Amino acid sequence: MLEKSFGLLFFLRKPRDYEEGLMYVYMRITVDGVAKEVSVKRSWEPSKWSAKANRATGTKEDTRQLNHYLDVLQNKVYDARRKLIDNGKIVTASAIMDIVSGKEQRTRELLALFKKHNDEMKAMIGKGVAKGTWTNFNTTYRHVSDFLHTQYQVKEINILSLDLEFVKKLYHWFRTVKNLGHNSALKNIANLKKIVIECKDNGWLPVDPFAKFDLTREEVETTFLVKEEIQAIADKEIRNERLCRVRDVFIFCCFTGLAFSDVKQLKKSEVNIGVDSELRIYKGRQKTGTPSLIPLLPITQKILTKYQYDKQCLASNQLLPVLSNQKYNAYLKEIAILCDIDKELKTHIARHTFGTSVTVGNNVPLESVKEMMGHKNMRQTLHYAKITGMKVNKDMKTLKAKLTKNKFISDVQILQTICLPEEPNRK
C-alpha cells in the first residue's frame, strides 16, 4: 500500500554531556508524518558534515567509506519500501526499519510460526477443520521440536536457516530415530512444508527448501473384505454383548462407507427420507466437511432399528453403540479370530470394503461411490474403490454377451478369407 509521504534523512546527534568532538550519525525515516530514528553505529566530525547533502565532506578514505556505507543503507531503505509495496503491505517507518535492521527476519522462527498456525487451526475445528487434522499437525510440531533439540541442540531455528540438507536430515531422523515408515515420514514433512510455503508466499523466504525433495509416497496395498468374509462375520453367532455390538457397527460401516469418526457422531437428524421416499444418510464428513449422501440398504436399516431404543445410545445421543477407536479395533481382532478371517480387521477396512466389494463389485458407478463416500475428487475414491480381477472378468462376460447378442461387428470375412503368402518379387 503506497504511503502519502516518505522521507529519509541522515544527520548528526550530540552525545549526552557533549562539549566537542565526534557526534553520532543517525538515520531518520518518515512516513506520513510519523518518524523512526536509529543510530547507524558510526561517529563523525561535525565540521566535516554537510546537513544539506546528508553526507560527510572531504576527499579522504574515511569520508568515502562513511558515505559508501550511508549509500548502502539508503538503498536498503528504498528496497524495503518497495518490498512492502509489492507485497501489498502497509508502508510505515517501523515496518521499513524492521526490514533494514533484520528484526523482521530474526523474529520469524520456525516453531513459533508453526505454533501460531496450529493455534489458528484449533480455533477453526468444526468450521472447516477436523480435529484429527489439528492433532496431526500438533504431532508434527512435537516431532520437529524434538528433532531440533536432539540434532541441533537448540530450542528454535530461524526460517532462513532451512535448506534441502535440513529436510533430508529430518526425513532420515523420522525413519531411523522415530522408526516411521516412508509414507508416515513424508506426511509429517508435508505438514511442515505447509508452514514453510506460507512463509515463502509471504515473501519471508527467498526459495522453497522443499523444492528438490521428493515427496512421492509409496503405493499402499489396501485391505478389504470379500463377500464371503462379510457373510462370515454377519452369520457368526456371537453371544458376547460387546463383540456383538462391535460386529453390528462394523457391518453397518461396510454397507454405508462411513468412517469411524462419522459413524460415532451419526445423529438421528442426519437420517431422513429422500425425494424417492427411501431412507438415507445425509451428513458432512467430520474429516473434511464434504457432504455425503448414502441411501440406506435393508441390512443397515435393520441395524438402526435394532438399537433405536438401546439405553447406551439414548444416553449418549448416538444412533449406534460406538466405542472408542482403540477398543473398537481391539474387539475387531477378536471377531476376526472367531470368524477365521486371516486379515487384521480395523475400523477403516469397512470403508474400503464398501468402496470395493459392496459398491464397485456390484457395478455401482464410481461417480455414485464418490458422492456416497464424501470425496472431493475421483482420485480419493479410487484409493478405496479397487477394481478387482473378479470384477474385470464379470464385466468382460457381460460385454461378451452384449457383443454377441447385438452382433457388434461381422467376422464373416475374417473367418472365410484365406490369406495367401505373397509371391517373391521377380526381376
Q: Transcribe 226-282 into DSSP letters.
A: -HHHHHHHHH-----HHHHHHHHHHHHHHTT---HHHHHT--GGGEEE-TTS-EEEE
Residue range 408-414: average pLDDT?
64
CA torsion, ordered 247, 250, 252, 256, to nearest 10 deg: -170
- Over residues 79-103, mean pLDDT: 84
Please give the pLDDT value at position 373: 83
More confident residue, 174 or 415: 174
Q: What DSSP letter does each residue of 382-424 carry, written as one string? A: HHHS---HHHHHHHHHHHHHHHHHHT-S--HHHHHPPPPPPPP
pLDDT tens digits, 193-215: 999 999 888 878 888 999 899 99
Report the amino acid identity of residue 14: K
Cell of residue 43, nine digits: 561517529
Question: Over 80: is that where the pLDDT of 320 sits?
Answer: yes
Query: For residue 298, is pLDDT > 60?
Result: yes
Confidence at residue 425, expressed as pLDDT on a 0 to 100 scale: 67
* Mean pLDDT on 182-194: 95
Number of residues written out for the chain: 427
Indicate whether this model's pTM tops 0.75: no
**DSSP H stretches of helix in 57-202:** 61-86, 93-101, 103-106, 110-123, 131-147, 164-176, 182-201
Residue 189, φ and ψ in degrees, nearest 5: -65, -35
Contact 287, 261 (CB under 8 A): yes
The position carrying cell 457395478 is 363
pLDDT for position 86? 83
Kindly state the cell numbers that stand for 317: 445421543
271-273 and 291-295: which strand pairing? unpaired
Task: Write the DSSP symbol of residue 419.
Answer: P
Domain boundaries, the chain: 6-105, 110-201, 227-389
Q: Rounded to whole angstroms, how far apart are CA atoms 144 and 110?
A: 9
The CATH number, out of the four listed (1.20.140.10, 3.40.630.30, 1.20.1260.10, 1.10.443.10), of the domain defined by the range 227-389: 1.10.443.10
> Which has more confidence, 193 or 388?
193
pLDDT at 304 over 80: yes
